[in-house]
A = this chain, B = another copy of it.
């Protein structure tokens, strides 16, 4: 089993996700909240519906998620008509700090992974190899 690419790849993916999940748990946010906050920070004023479709989350579930972020004073809706799902989303002042902290913790996670690989040069090589595995077809078929 230890020489099977798919098996090892799956174990490595789970190891990285495990570290990521521990990182976001430490911030008391779930992975979906992490992604939503990252998108709002990148593009303040985005519509909930756009964020839902970007992340493949059901709009109704995103409404609940945003309710939670509003209660914690991290994000806020601003009116976008009668439809609650069409409201624009912004970080609060506290949210900007919170997301800054979140990004730093996430970067520490990424640094841990780079360290495991051996350094930035090995990370670059590793990403190249992952790209080769992802880009199937044309090149491999020649």
Contact = CB atoms under 8 A, between A and B. Distances in A.
Interface of A: 2-6, 8-13, 15-17, 19-20, 110, 112-118, 122-123, 125-127, 129-136, 140
Which of A6, A11, A12, A20 has the most chain B CB atoms closer than 10 A to its own CB? A12
A134 B113 CA distance: 10
B140 A115 contact: yes
Nearest to A5: B113
Q: How many chain copies?
A: 2
A13 B9 contact: yes
Given A129-B122, A136-B116, A12 B11 contact: no
A29 B116 CA distance: 37
Tell me what chain A mostly uses at the interface: helix, strand, loop, or mixed: helix
A140 B123 CA distance: 15
A113 B134 CA distance: 10
A137 to B, nearest CB: 9
A17 B12 contact: no
Give the 10 A-B residue pairs with the shortest CB-CB distance, closest first.
A12-B133, A12-B130, A8-B130, A6-B16, A13-B13, A9-B13, A5-B113, A15-B134, A126-B129, A116-B140
